[in-house]
Structure 1
Amino acid sequence: MKDKLKKLIIIPAYNESECIEKTIENIQKNAKDFDYIIINDCSTDNTREICERNGFHIINLPVNLGIGGAVQTGYIYGIRCGYDMAVQVDGDGQHDAAFLQKMAECLEETGADMVIGSRFIEKQGFQSTGARRIGIRFFTWLIRLMTGKTVTDPTSGLRMVNRKVMAKFAKDYPKDYPEPETAVTVLHCGMKIKEIPVVMKERAGGVSSISMQKSVYYMVKVSMAIIIERMRRRK
């Protein structure tokens, strides 16, 4: 039965020309039981040309939707194509596909609805910058306050979900900075999150969407979204 489950890797990509080939090579080498789809979020570099030249599986969005819209497109694709689980893998080379099978096994064996790859359980590999670690600890505290559950790496983009969560995210998904907010959504719906230790790498190329100038907006926006989600669930 496990071998029959259809597993999809969603790769949101915006200007990832420096990394996208290595990302796909890593998947083809270490996650052979998974299919993948690149969601090209109207890149302004030659990401599209590289993907099409190599015959990569790609959806080219006509306008830039941001990280949330790109990932949601992947969930819509996954639901329509009958996949049983989906995992987000960023196109910047930070996520190692070698951990995907362990995540899939955890999802199946524990009955979890979401499995998050956490860099902070065993504290190996790239641990993010000092400023971002402060923000991550804050969101861990806020999620525990709002839900009573501890998520050690709430901003991790390496997250796998079952079909039930896929269907939910295909209908409704935050536009930007979605990771902490969607974790809260899953917990408030009475679903279960598990974390497993993973090793992440530094970004191999390109530029992060979260600049220093956007950090304050990020903290305020995501915090308000988490609090509002909590208030909505109480009604």
Structure 2
Amino acid sequence: MEFLGKDGLGNTMKSTLVIVPALNEAENIGHVVQNLKTTSPWLDVLVIDDGSTDQTAEVARTQGAKVISLPVNLGIGGAVQTGFLYAVKNHYDVALQVDGDGQHRAEEIKKLIDPILLGEADVTIGSRFLAKTSYKSAIPRRLGIYILSKTIQSVVRKSYTDPTSGFRAYNQKALRVVSTHYSTDYPEPDSIVTLVKNGLRVIEVSVEMDARLSGNSSITPFKSGYYMVKVSLAIILNSMMSKIWPD
């Protein structure tokens, strides 16, 4: 499974998988897959249909994506981890995580992949806040992200400006970790702790993001509060656990 292109150093690039978790995103998923295929035709696109009750899977297949349809809704963590397991089993060198609602721009993918291909990072996180971008977020959500950022910093001694971002890239070493240990609900902040604890180089890169194309986010104001408490506790507990891959 090789893409016979060259990276910035002239080295042969291996194949790259884009994992797109999607729950009832029939209105958006076609655009997402089409944009990925058009912008970076060398990418393999895998949509994880997380128990959708609409035509998400059919629309994704029509646009040329590979699709795994889960028989029940596993939540974002279970859906993404399914993609990680697929990437490991099929020996992909790089796996990207991209949302199915159209927030993540395909043309920004190169910013995530380059540090991995150049050996500068094991994991890259696309950040809306590392530098000034056009992205606008509500004050309560921005406050929540700030609190999670400070919680993570307190346990790993590293600063991350956008720990909830689901726009990420992983090399094989990182994939072996997240395919083994990944939270079920809202896993992005907690996974940073897991990855750093296991000696992986996790960096942020500044990217532009958009609002979702259509539909509403599943995170309501009530869920946001629950999310904050649950994830903060998970981060603290995770920091006390032993490493997955002992030295």
Q: Is TM more than 0.5 here?
A: yes
> Contact (CA 8 Å) 2:22, 2:48: kept in 1 or not?
yes
Secondary structure (helix, strand or coil) at the match of 1:207 reads coil
Secondary structure (helix, strand or coil) at the match of 2:179 reads helix
Matched with 1:212 is 221
Letter in 1 for 2:160: V
TM-score (structure 1 length as normaliser): 0.95
Q: What displacement does 1:110 show?
A: 4.2
More moved, 202-211 vs 4-13: 202-211
CA distance in 1, matches of 2:189, 2:25: 23
Matched with 1:48 is 57
User: Are 2:87 and 1:82 aligned?
Assistant: no
Aligned-residue sequence identity (percent) comes to 43
Deviations 1:65-120 (A, max 9, x none): 11000000000111111101111000000001111122111112243111001111
Matched with 2:3 is none
Matched with 2:66 is 57
Letter in 2 for 1:144: Q
2:139 to 118, 130, 134: 130
Matched with 2:100 is 91
1:109 to 118, 128, 131: 118
Moved over 6 A (4+): none
Answer 1 or 2: which has greater helix percent: 1
Secondary structure (helix, strand or coil) at the match of 2:144 reads helix
Deviations 1:1-46 (A, max 9, x none): 7433111100000010111111012101222232110000010122
* Structure 2 spans left out of the alignment, 5+ residues: 1-5
Aligned residues: 235
CA distance in 2, matches of 1:53, 1:30: 17
Letter in 1 for 2:239: R
Letter in 1 for 2:191: T
Matched with 2:197 is 188
Write the mapping of 1:160-175 to structure 2, written as runs, cut at 5 A: 160-175=169-184
CA distance in 1, matches of 2:213, 2:63: 20
Letter in 1 for 2:155: M
> Contact (CA 8 Å) 1:120, 1:152: kept in 2 or not?
yes
Matched with 2:186 is 177
* Structure 1 spans left out of the alignment, 5+ residues: none
CA distance in 2, matches of 1:158, 1:137: 18
CA distance in 1, matches of 2:30, 2:172: 28
TM-score (structure 2 length as normaliser): 0.90
Name which structure has the greater RCO, CA cutoff 8 Å, separation 6+.
Answer: 1
Letter in 2 for 1:83: Y
Secondary structure (helix, strand or coil) at the match of 2:27 reads coil
> Contact (CA 8 Å) 2:34, 2:63: kept in 1 or not?
no
> Contact (CA 8 Å) 2:33, 2:64: kept in 1 or not?
no
Q: What displacement does 1:51 show?
A: 2.4
CA distance in 2, matches of 1:209, 1:60: 20
